[in-house]
Every structure is written in C-alpha cells, then in structure tokens.
Amino acid sequence: MKIIMLGPPGAGKGTQAKRIAGFYGIPHISTGDIFRANLKGGTPLGMEAKKYMDQGLLVPDDVTVAMLLKRLEEPDCAKGFVLDGFPRTIPQAESLKEALAASGKHIDFAINVDVPDEVIIDRMGGRRACVSCGSTYHIAYSPPKTEGRCDVCGEALIQRDDDKPETVGKRLDVYHEQTHPLIEYYEKDDVLDNVDGTRPMDEVFDHIIELLS
C-alpha cells in the first residue's frame, strides 16, 4: 500500500502518517528524516544537499527526488510506505510517478487532510519540535509527557522559526501556490480522498482507515 499525505502545513498529516504506518506495518517516510539521515551519514546526496542548505537555498528537486527514490529501494518498503512532505510540487509528483511506473508500481492513495487557513495559524503557534530526533508536539493537542522535553529522546523542544505566527502566513502562501495543485493532480489519477482535518485526531484517523480499507 503506497500512500501520500497531502494538506497544508500544520494540518496534522505527519501525526496521521505515523499512525497509518504503525497500523499497516509500513514505513513512515518524511523528507525531513531523509535529509537528516543523509546528512548524518555523509552520503554523496547528503553532501550535495548540504551545499544548498548552507547557503539558505532550497535543495533542487533532482537531489530531493534522488534521496527519496534511494530510500524507497530499501527492504522495509517492499509492502508499501506512507510519504509525508513529498511531493511538494507537480514536477516532484511527476518524477515520483515515472520512477514508480518504471518498476510497475503506482500510488494507491493520496489522502488530503483539509484544514482552513485560520485554523492552521492557530495550531502552528502551539507546535514544538525536537531538534535532535525530529519528533513534533503541540502544547494543547498533543503535549509531551514532560513539559519542554521530547518523549522519544529527552532533548529540549523548541518553537521552530517557521511555526511562529509572523511566518505562518508566508508558508500558507507558498503551500497554496506550489503544493495545493497536487490535490487536483491526484484527483485526476483517481486516487485522492479528502478528510476533515478540523475533527479530533482519533476521528480523522478512523476516517482515513475507513477510506484505506
């Protein structure tokens, strides 16, 4: 089962992606995790990405796609995967589609977690992240067991710069311009399902599992 999670930043798709992966016993794959693994491992792709990141530039699509495809070749992806944070653009979606088609595969489901902008702005102000392992929390909806500390590794949690209210609006503008068109893209492929991301997390999860079943 090959699944893509769509939705604006702060919609909760990362949390749902992890739950879906656990439910079906398939890997949850985020671009953030892939970048961290390649940078930590000092891989050629990681070093290439670092050159752009050190200059504050976006990593080119060809480097990002190459990292992802290499990850999808690993044995744990044999039964499927849940992609979180990729693709972000139509060109990335087309590159993924072509790569999967070359081995006789295709995306089975694209789940769009739909949340209005005003709700996103409220939600993201409460998000906290672990800079060590990448785990994310929300001070109201999914707080850590110990305030200010990551449940997974115990490191301190921070509010990322791009979660601060003054930058959320800009992130949403980029989402609507670059990523929102993917909804229509996957709708044309007849693999898109929409879920109401404003509902409680458990209800959203149950709805997703119902769609996938």
Provide the token pair at 40.
């930590």
Cα four-point dihedral sign 95, 98, 104, 105: positive
Provide the token pair at 112.
């769009």
DSSP code at position 177: I
Are the C-beta atoms of 113 and 16 separated by less than 8 Å?
Answer: yes
Residues noted as catalytic? 13, 88, 127, 160, 171
φ/ψ of 135, rounded to 5, equals -65, 145
Provide the token pair at 45.
């792709």
Give SS3 for 60: coil
Are the C-beta atoms of 13 and 86 separated by less than 8 Å?
Answer: no
- Contacts of residue 188, defined as CB under 8 A and 6 or more positions apart, other chains included, come to none
